[in-house]
Structure 1
Amino acid sequence: MKFLKSLKPLMLVVALFGSLGITQQVLAKDKFIFANSSPYDTLDPHVIYDVGRVASRLNLYDGLLRWLDNPPKLEPWLAESYDISADGLKYTFVLREGSTFHDGTPVEAKDVVYSIERILALKKGAFSLFSKSIAPGSTKALDARTVEFNLNEPSSIFLATVPAIHVVNSDLVKSKEVDGDWGGVWLSKNEAGSGSFELTRYDPAIGFQAKRYADHFMGWGDKYLDEIEFRTVVEINSRVLGLLNGDFHGTDGYLPQDQVKRLAASDNVYVMEEESMRIFYSIIHNGRKPFDDVNLRKAISYSFDYDAFIDNILSGSVARNPVPLPNNIWGAPEGVGGYTYDLEKAKEFLTKVKQPIPEITLGALAGYGQTEQAAALLQNGLNKIG
């Protein structure tokens, strides 16, 4: 079953960043503290690929391209230019001059090659984006500043996935490898990037701190932060109170609407609401019993009160998404009705389930109040159909 929506995420963050969210307007002079709802249990940029831990990847590392602004535009980053062959199989990127890792060594094509090979070898994080299009060993460093990707088949989305190749310092990571682990143990607790901030402290139970990398190739201008801290604060009330009291300068927008309204009423907090491509959905493993029966999956899907979730729990701040793609993404199908809240249909499909149905446990994400509310709403609907 899926109940999806395009989020207008409230990332409660300082306006200085120009990010989406809720921000505490009284900002410490040169340090930004963000209260995160999920833990930073690893810093490895090729292992993580989720919204909750995106801050470590985007601040400590760079990619060849990067999504910027809203609506998002794909812009050159470590690469100054790229070329696509006529057959769509060869993508050649030229790295900009002057980009360096935090230890001062230059970012080179060999580092890009090592990074994509590492992603393919680890089979984690962004691996699924490249597993079909790029074969191990097919990416080449033509010279120090030129890297060539040779695709298995033409891909209309390849450029859009390139920002997920966060480039690591290959010489440094190789020096930390143990028993062929691609430096995994070391990189889970340290960093080897060229990003705008460099790591100063990390504790998986607390979060991470970083300082401004003064030599970042994009420059800084006259307005910048010297330090950032992303702190794990799972408890919702602690994040809200910390923001109101000025202990934190930002948090994400996955908060119950009553808490969002509470923050919006404060003179010191700014709630930024912008359209995004984030979706909210529940996951059912259709390869496991009893969910391998399509009738049970349909019964569950008709048992969720979509309108109540959107209009009452989320105060109409989202749009219904009937398919697993954001409404505003290229290629999203139009005119798909999706499931509705219909208990009679749910009961009808439930009677068609042949196998015994054991007790079902609904899981919610710790620190994400909206997922707990959604689980309770689904539980209510399922109880009504027996």
Structure 2
Amino acid sequence: MTFLKQITAAALLASTTLAGQAFAEGGTLVIATTQTPRHLNGSVQSGIATAVPSTQIFASPLRYDENWEPQPYLAESWETSADGLTVTLNLVSGATFHDGEPIEAEDVAFSILNTKEHHPFKSMFEPVESIDTPDTQTVVINLSKPHPALLLALSPALAPVLPKHVFGDGQDPKSHPANSAPVGSGPFMLEEFTPGEAIVLKKNPNFFIEGRPKLDEIVFRIVGDPSALLIAMENGDADMYPFMAGSQEIRRLEKDDDLAITTEGYAAVGAINWLAFNTASPKLSDVRVRQAIAYAVDRDFITKALHRGVSSPQRGPIIESSPFFDETIPAYDVDLDKAKALMEEAGFGDGMDLTVDYIPGPKEQQQSVAEYLKSQLKKIGINVTVRAAPDFPTWAGRVGGHDFEMSMDVVFNWGDPVIGVHRTYLSDNIRQGVIWSNTQQYANDKVDSLLNQAAVELDTEKRKALYGEFQQVVATDLPVYWINSLPYHTAYNKKLLNPPQGIWGAMHPMDMVEWSE
């Protein structure tokens, strides 16, 4: 298996050396992945493909430990006012960007406002009304209303701090050339980014946390063929495989004595595999058609047979492990007679044709389910065409551009519903060209009201009641049919110390990861 020809000699050596070999000066970590990011700027792009390298390149105001407690990062301390309307960040002194320029309050303010305006998670910073910078080390975030998810939103994967002198030059933040050649302040610096092949990151020698990072280099090896990725892990050509969700992959790598397999590192992710409906489609605008499809799909078959028991059924928009999940939500257990009756009521008793897309790469969670839908929905008169995409950007362009009827998708809760759930269901988050927003084009005034109330409610029990009512409404409207939670695992070489197992997993700075001996 060939490796990227243009990467540095050190990276090439690392890729052909047995994983786990001791390195005299920090060494190289090779991370295997199937996804190519559009670019590396997590301020304007969500998703695993961007977040894992982005959190190594960019630092953020805060970081979180495994107990969900915020920890200092670029902000050495912070304070929230009694009324919840002001959060003050006190920045560390002496921190610099990779180009040597100092990190100042203006950079943090610029970054938060840039993320607010251009990131697909519109609700994440929506209450941020203004930001004051009384001096170079103080950031005062003024909120229009209390925001219970704000500190979590200041995490690495959600709030990268950008250099204003690079990104604030007036160019479109979403297509800025620096997105693919970013200057950050994180533990690693971009050496090379060749889409479809590899991302090479070098140690930041001037990182503001003394003694870190431990590694000299991180190489993201992009392997389009999942089978080849497994071989790379088994042969020692790669050292870590995060966000692994396939049952065959998990069980195969569990047999390798040189690898450790863990489910730790995904507590805040809340990944849900679902079938999205374009509610603006004439065929799917009638809720009875969407409900008919739900009654025709068998979650148990998908999780127990297609996924070989490694995934769990998911009945609603909030991950079932969350304290905000409503156990009473309708499950839509299989009932083909009811499904046929609903199709008849909707005027489609003679059937219809529909197309389903899926994310390329994770076949078991995506393509296999899409192909199952083709056979299962035929039982209620729906002829399904499974439409493949040659790569992730193509799929993202279709779904973000609303050029689809149905699509398999994987969407994260991101720790708090305000961050990861609201974006899918708020009507003001219907955003052309943006994935993982309200790509279903779903609009319901009651849902908007409930979510907007929950976004400012600081009392946990009251928030729970609001989210319970929200779940009941969307379970009736079904802009999405929720299928299963993803069984994310990380495989890594046993000689690797401090693998990323916090609440954000690999979407967290790997400045403490190192090789033993």
How high is the TM-score relative to the length of structure 1? 0.84
Encode CA deviations 1:209-231: one digit per residue, 9 max, x unaligned.
Answer: 1111133223336x822100112
Task: Considering Cα pairs closer than 8 Å and 6+ residues apart, tell me whether 1 or 2 has the greater RCO.
Answer: 1
SS in 2 for 1:302: helix
Q: 1:332 to 1:96 in 2, by over 3 A?
A: farther
Q: What does residue 6 of structure 1 align with?
A: none
CA distance in 1: counterparts of 2:204 and 2:239, whole angstroms: 21
Matched-pair contact (CA < 8 Å) for 2:40–2:51: no
Q: What does residue 248 of structure 2 align with?
A: 258
1:298 equivalent to 2:291? Answer yes
Tell me which amino acid in the other structure corresponds to 1:292. Answer: S
State the shift of 1:111 in Å: 0.3
Matched-pair contact (CA < 8 Å) for 2:44–2:173: no
CA distance in 2: counterparts of 1:153 and 1:27, whole angstroms: 52
Question: What is the root-mean-square deviation in Å for CA atoms of aligned residues?
Answer: 2.3
Encode CA deviations 1:10-30: one digit per residue, 9 max, x unaligned.
Answer: xxxxxxxxxxxxxx9635731
Q: 1:74 to 1:312 in 2, by over 3 A?
A: farther
Q: What does residue 45 of structure 1 align with?
A: 42
Q: 1:105 to 1:126 in 2, by over 3 A?
A: farther
Q: What does residue 207 of structure 1 align with?
A: 198
Moved more, 76-85 or 322-331: 322-331
1:278 equivalent to 2:286? Answer no
Q: 1:257 to 1:199 in 2, by over 3 A?
A: same
Which of the numbers 190, 195, 208 marks the counterpart of 2:186?
A: 195
Matched-pair contact (CA < 8 Å) for 1:343–1:381: no
Q: What does residue 144 of structure 1 align with?
A: 136
SS in 2 for 1:149: strand
State the shift of 1:157 in Å: 1.8
Q: 1:184 to 1:117 in 2, by over 3 A?
A: farther
Moved more, 103-112 or 246-255: 246-255
CA distance in 2: counterparts of 1:299 and 1:28, whole angstroms: 57
SS in 2 for 1:107: coil
CA distance in 2: counterparts of 1:283 and 1:67, whole angstroms: 31
1:33 equivalent to 2:30? Answer yes
Q: 1:293 to 1:269 in 2, by over 3 A?
A: same
CA distance in 2: counterparts of 1:209 and 1:111, whole angstroms: 25
Encode CA deviations 1:189-235: one digit per residue, 9 max, x unaligned.
Answer: 211211111111112232311111133223336x8221001122121
SS in 2 for 1:351: helix
How high is the TM-score relative to the length of structure 2? 0.64
CA distance in 2: counterparts of 1:181 and 1:111, whole angstroms: 17
CA distance in 1: counterparts of 2:187 and 2:148, whole angstroms: 30
Q: What does residue 147 of structure 2 align with?
A: 155
SS in 2 for 1:49: coil
Q: What does residue 314 of structure 1 align with?
A: 307
Q: What does residue 105 of structure 1 align with?
A: 101
Which of the numbers 115, 121, 124 marks the counterpart of 1:129?
A: 124
1:362 equivalent to 2:356? Answer yes
Matched-pair contact (CA < 8 Å) for 2:41–2:50: no
Matched-pair contact (CA < 8 Å) for 1:84–1:90: yes
SS in 2 for 1:361: strand
Q: 1:84 to 1:253 in 2, by over 3 A?
A: closer
State, as a whole percentage, how many aligned pairs show the same letter: 26
Q: 1:368 to 1:350 in 2, by over 3 A?
A: same
1:352 equivalent to 2:345? Answer yes
SS in 1 for 2:221: strand
State the shift of 1:367 in Å: 0.9
SS in 2 for 1:359: strand
Q: What does residue 13 of structure 1 align with?
A: none
1:81-96 equivalences under 5 Å are 81-96=77-92
Matched-pair contact (CA < 8 Å) for 1:209–1:230: yes
State the shift of 1:265 in Å: 1.6
CA distance in 2: counterparts of 1:241 and 1:28, whole angstroms: 22
Matched-pair contact (CA < 8 Å) for 1:364–1:372: yes
CA distance in 1: counterparts of 2:289 and 2:33, whole angstroms: 36
Q: 1:232 to 1:315 in 2, by over 3 A?
A: same
CA distance in 1: counterparts of 2:290 and 2:57, whole angstroms: 41
Q: What does residue 234 of structure 1 align with?
A: 224
Moved more, 274-283 or 41-50: 274-283
Q: What does residue 325 of structure 1 align with?
A: 318
Consecutive unaligned residues of structure 2, counting only runs of 5 or more, are 1-17, 382-517
State the shift of 1:280 in Å: 1.7
Tell me which amino acid in the other structure corresponds to 2:302. Answer: F
Consecutive unaligned residues of structure 1, counting only runs of 5 or more, are 1-23
State the shift of 1:295 in Å: 0.5
Q: 1:67 to 1:316 in 2, by over 3 A?
A: farther
State the shift of 1:303 in Å: 1.8
Tell me which amino acid in the other structure corresponds to 1:195. Answer: G
1:78 equivalent to 2:77? Answer no
Q: 1:120 to 1:199 in 2, by over 3 A?
A: same
Matched-pair contact (CA < 8 Å) for 1:46–1:126: no
Give the number of aligned pairs. Answer: 354
Tell me which amino acid in the other structure corresponds to 2:146. Answer: P
1:149-188 equivalences under 5 Å are 149-163=141-155, 164-174=158-168, 177=169, 180-182=171-173, 184-188=175-179
SS in 2 for 1:350: helix
Which of the numbers 215, 219, 227 marks the counterpart of 2:210?
A: 219
SS in 1 for 2:193: strand
Which of the numbers 239, 259, 281 marks the counterpart of 1:269?
A: 259
Q: 1:327 to 1:217 in 2, by over 3 A?
A: farther
Moved more, 179-188 or 105-114: 179-188
Matched-pair contact (CA < 8 Å) for 2:19–2:238: no
Matched-pair contact (CA < 8 Å) for 1:46–1:125: no
Matched-pair contact (CA < 8 Å) for 1:173–1:192: no
Matched-pair contact (CA < 8 Å) for 1:290–1:357: no
Matched-pair contact (CA < 8 Å) for 2:29–2:239: yes
